[in-house]
Amino acid sequence: MTYRSIETLNYEAQLIEKSKKIRQRFSEVGIEDFRVFPSEPVNYRMRAEFRVWHEGDDLYYIMFNPETREKIRKDDFPPGSKLINNLMQAVIDHVIDNPLLRNKLFQVDFLTTKSNQAIVSLLYHRPLEEEWQAEAKELHDYLQSFADVVHLIGRARKQKVVFGSESVIENVQVNGQTYQSIQTENSFTQPNSGINEQMIEWVSEQAGQNNHDLLELYCGNGNFTLPLASQFNSVLATEISKGSVAAAREGAQLNGIENVTVVRMSAEEFSAALSGELESKRAADADIHSFDCKTVLVDPPRAGLDKDTLKLVSQYQRIIYISCNPSTLIDNIKAISATHKVTAAAMFDQFPYTDHIETGVVLENRN
């Protein structure tokens, strides 16, 4: 990923150049017609992590240039939400002259929402003793004036201290409807809320209304699961992360969605259980063979789909594939090209001013 300064780049120009490169890369699998979803040019990131630099009496945030490892001071962060920027300064102001909070603080993480909630995580290279906890409680109280809800979490080796909660509730707007999403500290959530909503709406449009069930692999916290549930008879979703599974289930309850089953299994385990190669109590409890899935949605990690999961998804009439890595997506498309063809494609500029872009394709069975 190439570092660029947000102050020196014209957003529209960089997106045009990025889109051109993506089209060139995907031309080898016959895809050139992409629908492009642009991001807001500033304040688009809802989460950020900063190292903390101690320099004499001064204390400030830094990020590293990934190419040169040069330290870059960050007194503000234009890509970050307005709430992140407000909390960045508030934390520094409160910590800089407080020895108990400042001592061996090496990182601060921010998770924010459009619903004006936030989690601030302070990471330390020392134990968090009672004296620290008393001062942290004062910081927690101080931060409440900056948002509707601010939770504070202290982390050290084998230790976590929580003031408030480990989760926030985000309001996700999809097709004119609001879904409440549970987002948990230290668990994956989509960083660009605006692009995320556009991504869900595109998937929703491609899915349409159906009289069959949806299989979703790598469902995370239910980001796609909950909005898509009304478009299928039922949804069978899998996810390996314990925290994300809990968030997806809680999100379904919070939104009154009753046709979603979330199973804590990896995609590889699920593939083996569905084919009868693996006995699994979780799969049996979910009665995975009772579902009539004809559409499968996948949003895998950068490694893409492994051989067994590719074999599994190729059995479905329609595959909706969201990818954070064009290289592995292209390889996966080639691997199932004998049975499936691409019928729609999109680019989602999740990370403006970088070389990274999310892509989505729909693959339909050729028969």
**Helices first, then strands: H and E counts in the chain:** 11, 17
Q: Encode pLDDT of 285-327 as tens digits.
A: 999 999 999 999 999 999 999 999 999 999 999 999 999 999 9
Q: Cα 184 vs. chain centroid, distance in angstroms?
A: 11
Check residue 2 and give its pLDDT: 42
Check residue 110 and give its pLDDT: 98
Domain carrying residue 153: 47-168
Residue 171: name the closest of 229, 231, 88, 254 by CA: 254
Q: Is 358 designated active site?
A: yes
- Does residue 3 sit within a domain? no
Sheet with 47-55, strands from edge to edge, namely 71-74, 58-64, 47-55, 105-112, 117-124, 149-156, 159-163
The contacts found for 51-59 with CB under 8 angstroms, 24 or more apart, are 51/106, 51/107, 52/105, 52/106, 52/107, 52/108, 54/102, 57/96, 58/96, 59/92, 59/95, 59/96, 59/102
Q: Which of 139, 168, 197 is the last residue of a domain?
A: 168
213 shares a domain with 360: yes
In the chain, which residues have pLDDT < 50? 1-3
307 shares a domain with 191: yes
Check residue 49 and give its pLDDT: 97
- Does residue 1 sit within a domain? no
161 shares a domain with 226: no
DSSP 286: H
Catalytic-role residue among 216, 279, 324, 364 = 324
194 shares a domain with 144: no
60 shares a domain with 25: no
Residue 311: name the closest of 342, 270, 346, 341 by CA: 270
Check residue 65 and give its pLDDT: 87
* 355, 17 contact by CB (below 8 A): no
Instruction: Name the domain count of the chain.
Output: 2
Structure tokens at 104: 């061996």
85 shares a domain with 224: no
| Predicted TM-score (pTM) of this structure | 0.94
The CATH number of the domain holding residue 26 is 3.40.50.150
- Does residue 6 sit within a domain? no
The CATH number of the domain holding residue 70 is 2.40.50.1070
